[in-house]
Amino acid sequence: MNRRKFVAATALAAAAQAADAPVRATPLKAGYWGPQFYDEKERAELLDVLDSRSPFRWYGPQPPTKVLQFEKEFAAHMASKYALGVTSGTAALQCAMAAFEIGPGDEVILPAWTWHSCFNAVVLAGALPVCAEIDETFNIDPSSVERLITPQTKLIMAVHLQGNPCHLDRILAIAKKHKLRVLEDCAQSVGASYKGRPVGSYGDIGIYSLQMNKSITAGEGGALVTNDPTLFERAARFQDLGGFRAPHAEAIGGAHLGWTFGANYRMSEFTGGVLLAQLRKLDRICQAVRHNAKQVYEGIRDLPNVKFRDLPDPVGELGSGVFLDFRTKERADKFLAAMKAENVLASKPGGSVILPTLPHIMAKKSLHPNWPSFQSARGKSIRYAPDTCPRTIDILQRYAGVLMDPKFTPTDTADIIKAIRKVHPTV
């Protein structure tokens, strides 16, 4: 080989290698949003509580302020009259069940694809969970809901998953027509809005999770909002052993109910303080995630045959992930593998489970063999099995996408676009 040929051959090899080189040298992966924004604000809130020696929300050597202030600002932020801080989103769901007086004999319609907490809250209340199919928003399909309504149905759980509001207008219309309550589960969409108003402000009650995987966090935490003073009083009583404290009574213009039955899901001042600092950053966090998602949407929109997850409100959704329909499970899986090779991590829809496919749910496990949920005629006859939600399973198999992070840099989003554009023609 002469010198000129050698130089040409090595240049070609280098070019080939560059084309084959992964888009990223090291893996790019979305992180936990809230904790990346921890700074002197959260630190100061925590130190306030430590120095005051008043870690309990209702009394102590100094008048506690954090949880009450968090509730006040959370209600305002979520465009609702009343907010209640509790220990988790799961606890908030149980408070909602108590507020709605859901119990044995009642049926609650929820999506087949959601988090364990939704199903468990219904069963813990002694009521029967009835699973609806999802649509291509990954959320509860309103037409599936309508088919499942019986005279025992009391509540629809409108869950807004992975930052994306469900078809709320249609759910609200169905609920109105059949005189049903609506619970919005906004655990995965804290900060999202629907038609100009925060999610959670449309239903009879909205619940939020403030656990680490959600928009803002103190590690654990949850909240509930409502405009209905009676629902608020029942929820507040349930999380405080049946009692109702003066500041909450004042907020609704005086207590209307007496002591009742309840658990203890009270939020601590440490949690309240951290969440107060985080809440004041929520808009900033959501803006950053939305901005990053928008870059990716715009950067790949022109790809042939591209079809995104349905977004009932593209402006209000959080942009937690950009998901594409690959039409088959095989192609979606091929996309995941190809993206991994580019060091840009992609994933299937996540953060939820397909309830009717879980062995313990198929077996109708609860706390006791005579648990009321499954004792009614319908409770005995209802089946939880994969063949009860074929559409849900199909949709979740053929979609895949990239999760977003508020701290992604312009280089990060450019690399995501580069990777998707590179692998898309190959899958």
Ligand X SMILES: *Cc1c(COP(=O)(O)O)cnc(C)c1O
Residues that bind ligand X (CB under 6 A): 88-90, 114-115, 117-118, 159, 185, 187-188, 209, 211, 222, 351
* Residue 237 and residue 257 in contact, taking contact as beta carbons nearer than 8 Å: yes
- Helix, strand, coil percentages in the chain from 3-state DSSP, rounded to 5: 45, 15, 40
The neighbouring-strand residues paired with 107 are 128, 153
Residue 377 C-beta: closest distance to ligand X, Å? 29
- Are 228 and 235 spatial neighbours (Cβ–Cβ below 8 Å)? no
**How is residue 111 written in tokens?**
């999506």
**Which residue's CB is nearer to ligand X, number 255 or number 403?**
403
Residue whose CB is less far from ligand X, 130 or 338: 130
Name residue, tokens 């190959």: 426
Residue with Cβ nearer ligand X (251 or 395): 395
**Both tokens of residue 332?**
């979606």
Q: Shortest gap between Cβ of 370 and ligand X (angstroms)?
A: 27
Closest approach, Cβ 130 to ligand X, in A, equals 17
Q: Which residue is nearest to ligand X (CB)?
A: 89
Helix orientation angle between 229-238 and 89-99, rounded to the nearest 10 degrees: 120
Which residue's CB is nearer to ligand X, number 88 or number 357? 88
Q: How far is the CB of 301 from ligand X (least distance, A)?
A: 28
Residue 208 or 326 with smaller CB distance to ligand X: 208
Give the residue among 264, 261, 175, 210 at the shortest CA–CA distance from 83. 210
Rg, Å, the chain Cα set: 24
In the complex, the smallest distance separating the C-beta of residue 409 from ligand X, rounded to whole angstroms, is 27
State the nearest-atom distance from the C-beta of 26 to ligand X, in Å. Answer: 29
Tokens of 322: 């950009």
Determine the Cα–Cα distance for residues 27 and 343; give it in Å rounded to an integer.
Answer: 4
Contact 415, 339 (CB under 8 A): no
Distance CA 232, CA 237 (A): 8
| Smallest separation (angstroms) from ligand X to the CB of 276 | 17
Q: Where are the alpha helices (DSSP H) in 53-88?
A: 66-77
Structure tokens at 255: 């207590």
C-alpha 146/C-alpha 170 separation (Å) is 10
Q: Tell me whether residue 34 or residue 89 sits nearer to ligand X (CB atom).
A: 89
Task: CB nearer to ligand X: give 222 or 262.
Answer: 222
Residue 392 CB neighbour total at 10 angstroms: 26
In the complex, minimum distance from the CB of residue 184 to ligand X, in angstroms, rounded to a whole number: 10
Cβ closest to ligand X, residue 300 vs residue 361:
361
